[in-house]
């Protein structure tokens, strides 16, 4: 008997939950005032709900089908898994997206799929869904499509006309790891399709001869995901791979997904608790690289085994390992150095820079900029404050480490 | 003491009117008692009647200038529900007259306090765009617009501030959002906003069942982070979210689900997997043998791992051009653009080459263009890939492919551009200047000419020098064209195979 829509929705959202990305930001601003249709994107994303796993629910994140020809060990939908299978029709995905959207449950659609028949067939069906939404239903909300590996460049090009974002997952930080766990996937082809997409995005962003208006093509760029903890790669390798991906293909985001046990798991993988703190530290390091002017090497070079410190955030760990660079004078030093002070974020730094043009700043002023004085005080000089030998104290690290907790009984 | 009573439901103009009047009358901030009418009504009796009447009249001549940023700050802060907002705004307005750049001092206590209020209003607005849940009102009228209703409970008086968002988004349907702090409605023609409180009519909607199914199943029980959820979706919003009633049970059963998942050991693969695997088992390709054609060489090169350069590059960039070309151009290595496109000489240096070649009548479609090294070698600087010169070892490894290209294409003339190409072709590192202008023999047969690499021309900082060198580069290419006309074309009438771009 055919499963009901509700049953299939359960199966196909279960199948999609291991993809971490749910961003609905970074696209162009558009709305339905002129078109009289439905949907808008406001530039920044909106998270419409949060699940108890702490992840935001911004998009309807589902698979078109979880039947798959590939047998990737880490994936819940691999062909050798006995997980229940289901498939949505094109019309059903369109209907669900629009009905959820009209009730303000979601910002749009994040559609992925298992590979059925062929890469091109699968991609074509996904493009059809996006086309129906955009053209037939005048939908202006956010659409994120997963590119199917090895799909034809023409299909990717069409997908890019409808989608805000395209992504293709690199899955594992090393080629060797991917070859081992995902025998049907080819790391070289994944990189090549990222390269092709970057060229197309760049070509579309150049004004054409006929018109100054730029073509709308994947306005929110491309992203990817890496699974953390399924293979033995250390954080330095992972971050190195990210840096290369950012540099080579202009990715907007690299998502890190702590490998989490899946139902009917493959025997080749660890069935452990997902390394959530490690995932968190990787995101922090990623931010340092993208917004704080840190190099990947700097972040990991003094860390034993190339692993980030789980107890301290990477910026604090870097500061403790490079104490000769401190204290930083918040009334005089440059932005680059202020950004390296543990406890000062980009907004606080902007506040410091704009305030200090008019007056000299004291610790209390920092508190009003929502800065934790306890955290920054060892690293800065302010009006009426010097850390004296605080930065040189050997127990400085212990002052920041989380208090020991009694272990859980099981 | 001046007592000012305002409605206080998010309307800036009433405060503005009062503030203008007070400022014109030079009333100091500490001499004003700001009240909201709803609160003021309670203690109206124990208040001297004379005080309430003392609202100074606004004089048209009392011009009060404020920076633009103050207005946008005031527009947000006035929506806040804290009665202190009026006084704080007036206090800042007062100080701004003496300190016009006060708003830039974010660390100032008054500014910081107002910014905190502004932030709270913005957050409330954002949460409203996120947590409003529409329910459809069944109507049945054919051709009628669909109608939706939502009940929401904001902290502040933000309904009129957020209403345009819903208008922009839900243009093709009728909707109404009712809250205790006001109502907004859209009928396709006009946006109606009122600040009077509404009641919750408690409707239901079938689609909520599907939404709850989605919410339950997108949740990963193996990564419970309840605190994280609650900071972003505080409990005060839960009562109007159809999915929130599932949360306690989802948290309670999470651990059991994970344990069950771990206990259920991997089972045998389903039948279709076995069939797929069998179908995929194509006959194993015979051991890689030495290529017998250029096409085979190209294919093998795609999987080249002779040196570690393949690890960081996107792809092998093999040569391209007619297989029987008379002239072969050898550059150094692919750059950023070549690496992405998989074709040689398509980036900035490629354009310099193309322009120069065109200027001297060298037809790019008739020459074979390739590089000494087939993978892009770079160093990451920030988010950019900066070209790095390949070392001699890498050049040696890649010589294998260049030699195959030379063997299959058999060019009469090889133009080596840059020192790396020369080193690869001659096996020795030599100064370009010593060889430039000579016609040399190479061991694979044919002749070789040497010139600079076009990227060298791009790097020259001095414009005059650049033009000089560009002219020399062109002259070198012109020499190649002359050689082609004198030595190759008259004697060898080869069929024109045209552009064989692969």
pLDDT 10s digits, B442-459: 877 789 999 999 999 999
Whether residues B358 and B452 share a domain: the answer is yes
> Could you tell me what percent of chain A has a pLDDT over 90?
70
The pLDDT score that the predictor gives to residue B180 is 95
Whether residues B436 and B467 share a domain: the answer is yes
Decide if A312 is inside a domain. no
pLDDT at B46 over 70: no
Query: Does B365 lie at the interface with A, CB-CB under 8 angstroms?
Result: no
Whether residues B225 and B314 share a domain: the answer is no
Query: Could you tell me the sign of the dihedral formed by the alpha carbons of B358, B362, B365, B369, in that order?
Result: negative
Whether residues B355 and B450 share a domain: the answer is yes
Domain boundary (B96, B127, B158) is at B127
Of the two residues B438 and A283, the one the predictor is more confident about is A283
| Residue-range definition of the domain harbouring residue A352 | 322-400
* pLDDT band at residue A406 under the 50/70/90 scheme: low
- The dihedrals phi and psi of A398, each to the nearest 5 degrees, come to -60, -30
Decide if A27 is inside a domain. yes
pLDDT at B140 over 70: no
CB contact under 8 A, A10 and B217: yes
pLDDT in tens, A86-119: 999 999 999 999 999 999 999 999 999 999 999 9
Whether residues A149 and A236 share a domain: the answer is yes
Domain boundary (A280, A306, A332) is at A306
Domain boundary (B76, B107, B127) is at B127
Stretch 261-300 of chain B: residues touching chain A, C-beta under 8 Å: 261-262, 264, 266-270, 272-273, 276-277, 280
Decide if B498 is inside a domain. no
Whether residues A283 and A374 share a domain: the answer is no
Q: To the nearest whole number, what is the mean pLDDT of chain A?
A: 90
Tokens of A8: 């299939």
Q: To the nearest whole number, what is the mean pLDDT of chain B?
A: 87
CA gap A236, A395 in Å, rounded: 27
The average pLDDT across A219-228 equals 94
Decide if B284 is inside a domain. no
The pLDDT score that the predictor gives to residue B438 is 85
Stretch 209-268 of chain A: residues touching chain B, C-beta under 8 Å: 243-244, 246-250, 258, 260-267
CB contact under 8 A, A261 and B261: yes
pLDDT at B501 over 50: no
Query: Does A269 lie at the interface with B, CB-CB under 8 angstroms?
Result: no
pLDDT in tens, B471-494: 999 999 999 999 888 877 655 544
pLDDT at A319 over 90: yes
Whether residues B256 and B140 share a domain: the answer is no
Sheet with B413-417, side-by-side order of all strands: B368-371, B327-331, B413-417, B447-451, B440-441
The pLDDT score that the predictor gives to residue B62 is 57
CA gap A327, B164 in Å, rounded: 48
Decide if B206 is inside a domain. no
The pLDDT score that the predictor gives to residue A206 is 77
Q: At A159, which helix (H) or strand (E)?
A: helix A153-162
Helix ranges, B25-158 (H): 37-40, 49-53, 68-77, 85-98, 109-131
Decide if B146 is inside a domain. yes
Chain A hits for B243, Cβ within 8 Å: 49
Whether residues A214 and A341 share a domain: the answer is no
Whether residues A241 and A340 share a domain: the answer is no
* pLDDT band at residue B500 under the 50/70/90 scheme: very low
CB contact under 8 A, B229 and A6: no
A251, A223 in Cβ contact below 8 A? yes
A138 Rama class: left (phi>0) / alpha (psi -120 to 50) / beta: left
pLDDT in tens, A12-36: 999 999 888 888 888 889 999 998 8
Decide if B499 is inside a domain. no
Query: Does B108 lie at the interface with A, CB-CB under 8 angstroms?
Result: yes
Whether residues B427 and B312 share a domain: the answer is yes
Q: Is A342 exposed, middle or buried (0-12, 13-18, 19+ CB in 10 A)?
A: buried
Whether residues B324 and B458 share a domain: the answer is yes
Of A53, A271, A359, Cβ closest to residue B220: A53
pLDDT in tens, B303-347: 888 888 888 899 999 999 999 999 999 999 999 999 999 999 999
Whether residues B463 and B316 share a domain: the answer is yes
Whether residues A157 and A251 share a domain: the answer is yes
Whether residues B106 and B161 share a domain: the answer is no
Query: Does A4 lie at the interface with B, CB-CB under 8 angstroms?
Result: no
Q: Rounded to the nearest 10 degrees, what angle do helices A119-131 and A153-162 cross at?
A: 20
Of the two residues B43 and A295, the one the predictor is more confident about is A295
| Residue-range definition of the domain harbouring residue B322 | 294-488
pLDDT in tens, B58-115: 555 556 788 899 999 999 999 999 999 999 999 999 999 889 899 999 899 999 999 9
pLDDT in tens, B265-313: 667 778 888 888 887 765 555 556 788 899 999 999 988 888 888 888 9
Whether residues A246 and A102 share a domain: the answer is yes
Decide if A407 is inside a domain. no
Of B133, B214, B314, Cβ closest to residue A195: B314
The pLDDT score that the predictor gives to residue A334 is 95
CA gap A322, A337 in Å, rounded: 13
Query: Does A42 lie at the interface with B, CB-CB under 8 angstroms?
Result: yes
Sheet with B135-137, side-by-side order of all strands: B135-137, B147-151, B174-179, B182-186, B191-194
SS3 readout for B326-349 = CEEEEECCCCHHHHHHCCCCCCHH
CB contact under 8 A, B171 and A35: yes
Total structural domains in chain A?
A: 2
Whether residues B321 and B440 share a domain: the answer is yes
Decide if B273 is inside a domain. no
Query: Does B200 lie at the interface with A, CB-CB under 8 angstroms?
Result: no
pLDDT at A154 over 90: yes
Whether residues A156 and A248 share a domain: the answer is yes
pLDDT in tens, B180-206: 999 999 999 999 999 888 888 888 899
Decide if A314 is inside a domain. no
CA angle centred on B200, ends B198 and B205, rounded to 5°: 135
Domain boundary (A247, A278, A306) is at A306
Query: Does A47 lie at the interface with B, CB-CB under 8 angstroms?
Result: yes
Chain B hits for A248, Cβ within 8 Å: 314, 339-340, 385
The most confident of the ranges A241-250, A398-407, B440-449 is A241-250
Whether residues B223 and B307 share a domain: the answer is no
The pLDDT score that the predictor gives to residue B236 is 94
Decide if A317 is inside a domain. no
Chain A hits for B146, Cβ within 8 Å: 102
> Could you tell me what percent of chain A has a pLDDT over 70?
95
Decide if A328 is inside a domain. yes
pLDDT at A58 over 70: yes
CB contact under 8 A, B251 and A52: yes
The C-alpha of A111 sits at a distance from chain B's nearest C-alpha, in angstroms, of: 13
Whether residues A327 and A292 share a domain: the answer is no
The pLDDT score that the predictor gives to residue B50 is 40
Whether residues B390 and B324 share a domain: the answer is yes
Whether residues A331 and A286 share a domain: the answer is no
Any idea what the CATH number is for the domain that residue A244 is in? 3.20.20.70
Pairing of strands A59-63, A108-112: parallel
Which one-letter DSSP state was computed for residue B176? Answer: E
Domain boundary (A272, A306, A340) is at A306
Cα–Cα distances in Å, from A175 out to A183, A240, A278, B310, B324? 11, 13, 21, 11, 37
pLDDT in tens, A169-189: 999 999 989 988 998 898 989
pLDDT at B254 over 50: yes
The average pLDDT across A275-283 equals 92
Total structural domains in chain B?
A: 4
The C-alpha of B17 sits at a distance from chain A's nearest C-alpha, in angstroms, of: 31
CB contact under 8 A, B172 and A38: yes
B450, B429 in Cβ contact below 8 A? no
Query: Does A347 lie at the interface with B, CB-CB under 8 angstroms?
Result: no
Decide if B282 is inside a domain. no
Whether residues A167 and A300 share a domain: the answer is yes
The average pLDDT across A234-247 equals 94
Query: Does A394 lie at the interface with B, CB-CB under 8 angstroms?
Result: no
Decide if B304 is inside a domain. yes
Decide if A350 is inside a domain. yes
pLDDT at A211 over 70: no
């Amino acid at each position: 008997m055919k499963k009901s829509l509700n049953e299939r929705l359960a199966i196909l959202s279960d199948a999609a939950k291991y993809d971490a990305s749910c961003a609905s930001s970074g696209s162009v601003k558009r709305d339905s005032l002129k078109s009289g249709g439905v949907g808008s994107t406001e530039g920044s994303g909106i998270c419409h709900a949060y699940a108890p796993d702490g992840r935001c629910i911004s998009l309807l994140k589902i698979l078109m089908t979880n039947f798959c020809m590939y047998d990737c060990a880490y994936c819940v939908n691999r062909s050798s898994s006995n997980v229940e299978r289901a498939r949505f029709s094109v019309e059903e995905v369109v209907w669900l997206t629009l009905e959820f959207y009209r009730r303000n449950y979601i910002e749009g659609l994040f559609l992925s799929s298992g590979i059925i028949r062929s890469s091109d067939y699968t991609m074509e069906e996904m493009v059809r869904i996006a086309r129906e939404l955009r053209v037939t239903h005048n939908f202006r909300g956010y659409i994120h499509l997963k590119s199917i590996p090895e799909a034809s460049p023409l299909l990717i090009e069409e997908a890019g006309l409808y989608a805000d974002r395209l992504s293709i997952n690199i899955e594992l930080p090393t080629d060797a790891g991917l070859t081992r766990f995902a025998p049907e996937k080819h790391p070289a082809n994944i990189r090549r399709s990222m390269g092709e997409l970057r060229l197309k995005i760049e070509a579309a962003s150049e004004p054409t001869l006929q018109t100054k208006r730029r073509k709308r093509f994947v306005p929110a760029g491309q992203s990817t995901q890496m699974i953390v903890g399924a293979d033995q790669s250390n954080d330095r390798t992972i971050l190195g791979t990210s840096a290369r991906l950012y540099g080579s293909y202009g990715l907007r985001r690299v998502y890190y997904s702590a490998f989490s046990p899946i139902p009917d798991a493959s025997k080749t993988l660890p069935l452990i608790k997902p390394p959530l703190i490690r995932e968190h530290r990787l995101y922090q390091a990623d931010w340092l690289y993208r917004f704080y002017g840190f190099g990947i090497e700097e972040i990991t070079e003094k860390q034993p085994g190339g692993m980030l410190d789980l107890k301290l955030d990477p910026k604090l760990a870097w500061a403790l390992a490079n104490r000769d660079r401190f204290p930083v004078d918040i009334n005089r030093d440059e932005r680059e150095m202020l950004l390296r002070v543990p406890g000062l974020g980009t907004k606080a730094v902007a506040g410091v820079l704009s305030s200090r043009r008019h007056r000299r700043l004291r610790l209390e002023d920092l508190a009003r900029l929502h800065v934790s004085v306890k955290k920054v005080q060892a690293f800065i000089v302010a009006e009426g404050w010097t850390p004296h030998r605080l930065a040189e104290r050997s127990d400085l690290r212990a002052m920041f480490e989380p208090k020991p907790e009694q272990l859980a009984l099981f | 003491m001046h007592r000012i009573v305002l409605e206080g439901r998010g309307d800036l103009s009433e405060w503005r009117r009062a503030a203008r009047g007070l400022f014109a009358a030079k009333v100091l901030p500490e001499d004003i008692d700001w009240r909201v009418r709803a609160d003021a009504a309670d203690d109206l009796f124990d208040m001297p009647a004379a005080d309430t009447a003392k609202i100074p009249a606004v004089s048209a001549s009392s011009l009060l200038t404020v920076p633009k940023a103050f207005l946008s700050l005031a527009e947000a802060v006035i929506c806040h529900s804290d009665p202190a907002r009026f006084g704080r705004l007036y206090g800042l307005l007062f100080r701004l007259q003496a300190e016009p750049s006060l708003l830039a001092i974010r660390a100032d206590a008054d500014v910081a306090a107002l910014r905190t209020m502004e932030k709270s209003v913005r957050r409330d607005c954002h949460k409203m765009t996120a947590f409003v849940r529409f329910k459809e009102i069944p109507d049945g009228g054919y051709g009628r617009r669909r109608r939706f209703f939502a009940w929401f409970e904001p902290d502040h008086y933000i309904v009129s501030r957020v209403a345009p968002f819903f208008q922009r988004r839900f243009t093709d349907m009728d909707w109404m959002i009712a809250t205790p702090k006001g109502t907004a409605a859209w009928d396709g023609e006009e946006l109606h906003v009122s600040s009077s409180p509404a009641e919750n009519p408690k409707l239901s909607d079938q689609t909520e069942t599907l939404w709850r199914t989605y919410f339950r199943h997108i949740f990963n029980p193996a990564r419970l982070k309840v605190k994280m959820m609650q900071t972003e979706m505080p409990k005060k919003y839960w009562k109007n979210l159809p999915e929130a009633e599932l949360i306690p049970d989802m948290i309670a059963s999470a651990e059991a689900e994970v344990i069950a998942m771990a206990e259920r050991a991997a089972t045998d693969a389903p039948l279709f997997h076995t069939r797929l695997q069998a179908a995929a088992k194509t006959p194993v390709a015979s051991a890689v043998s030495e290529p017998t054609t250029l096409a085979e060489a190209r294919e093998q090169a795609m999987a080249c791992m002779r040196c570690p350069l393949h690890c960081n590059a996107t792809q092998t960039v093999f040569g391209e051009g007619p297989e029987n070309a008379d002239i072969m151009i050898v550059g150094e290595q692919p750059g950023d653009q070549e690496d992405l496109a998989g074709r040689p000489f398509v980036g900035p240096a490629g354009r310099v080459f193309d322009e120069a070649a065109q200027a001297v009548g060298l037809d790019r479609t008739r020459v074979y263009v390739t590089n000494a090294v087939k993978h892009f070698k770079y160093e990451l600087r920030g988010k950019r890939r900066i070209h790095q010169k390949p070392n001699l070892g890498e050049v040696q490894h890649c010589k294998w492919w260049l030699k195959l290209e030379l063997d299959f294409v058999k060019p009469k003339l090889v133009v080596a551009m840059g020192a790396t190409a020369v080193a690869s072709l001659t096996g020795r590192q030599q100064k370009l200047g010593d060889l430039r202008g000579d016609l040399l023999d190479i061991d694979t047969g044919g002749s070789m000419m040497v010139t600079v690499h076009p990227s060298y021309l791009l790097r020259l900082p001095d414009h005059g020098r650049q033009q000089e060198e560009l002219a020399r580069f062109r002259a070198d290419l012109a020499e190649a064209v002359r050689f082609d006309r004198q030595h190759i074309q008259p004697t060898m009438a080869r069929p024109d195979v045209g552009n064989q771009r692969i």
